[in-house]
């Protein structure tokens, strides 16, 4: 008996639902930030607070979405998935959060790398050079891998649709891409949180 004998019950997600999910998530994230952010800090002398707040929020949401995606990717690889439309949408949401986290992270790096004595990079270079050379450099560039990995997984899921279920190499490819994206996400998230605790931008 085929693992996918109920494929006819599995529906693909619609483009309208895709756009709706992305817009709702972005609006929710920005609304949450605006309602809870300390405006005097966001717009005051600590100019890095705004990108730091949004970068942290996007990374946290991506970690949440990425965890669910990892589970659904495993179910896809083992041929036991029934929530295929959810996986399609989740893959695009994960790629979106990866893109936004990277954008705001790059904005935050301006403050991190500022050529002033009290910037985090200057502080680490003087007091804890290993933190910058190992932790931050790996976090900064390792995190960039999440975007192409997430985009590739989303592309395969949308390009091939339910055909992905019938082709083992596509199932395995999506699962591996989502697993690698999650690995780089967790490493970058952990190192970023550690660096922030040591010296915020």
Contact 96, 181 (CB under 8 A): no
Which pLDDT band holds residue 11 (cuts at 50, 70, 90)?
A: low
Tell me which of 92 and 16 has the higher pLDDT. Answer: 92
Q: What is the pTM of this model?
A: 0.74
pLDDT in tens, 20-60: 776 777 777 677 666 665 555 555 455 677 788 788 888 88
pLDDT in tens, 86-123: 899 899 999 999 999 999 888 887 777 777 777 777 77
Is residue 191 pLDDT above 90, yes or no?
no
Report the pLDDT averaged over residues 3-30.
64
Residue 5 has a pLDDT of 46
Report the pLDDT averaged over residues 143-162.
93
């Amino acid at each position: 008996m085929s693992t996918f004998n109920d494929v006819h019950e599995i529906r693909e997600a619609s483009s309208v639902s895709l756009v709706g999910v992305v817009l709702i998530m972005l609006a929710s994230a920005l609304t949450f930030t605006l309602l809870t952010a300390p405006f005097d800090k966001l717009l005051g002398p600590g100019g890095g607070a705004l990108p730091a707040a949004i970068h942290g929020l996007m990374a946290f949401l991506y970690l949440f979405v990425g965890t669910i995606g990892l589970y659904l990717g495993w179910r896809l690889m083992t041929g036991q998935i029934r929530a295929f439309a959810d996986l399609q949408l989740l893959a695009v949401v994960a790629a979106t959060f990866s893109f936004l986290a990277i954008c705001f992270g790059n904005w935050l790096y301006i403050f991190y790398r500022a050529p002033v004595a009290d910037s985090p990079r200057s502080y680490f270079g003087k007091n804890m050079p290993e933190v910058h050379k190992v932790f931050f450099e790996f976090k900064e560039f390792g995190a960039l891998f999440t975007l192409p990995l997430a985009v590739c997984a989303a592309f395969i899921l949308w390009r091939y649709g339910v055909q992905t279920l019938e082709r083992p190499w596509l199932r395995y490819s999506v699962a591996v891409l989502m697993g690698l994206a999650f690995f780089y996400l967790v490493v970058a998230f952990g190192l970023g949180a550690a660096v922030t605790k040591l010296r915020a931008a």
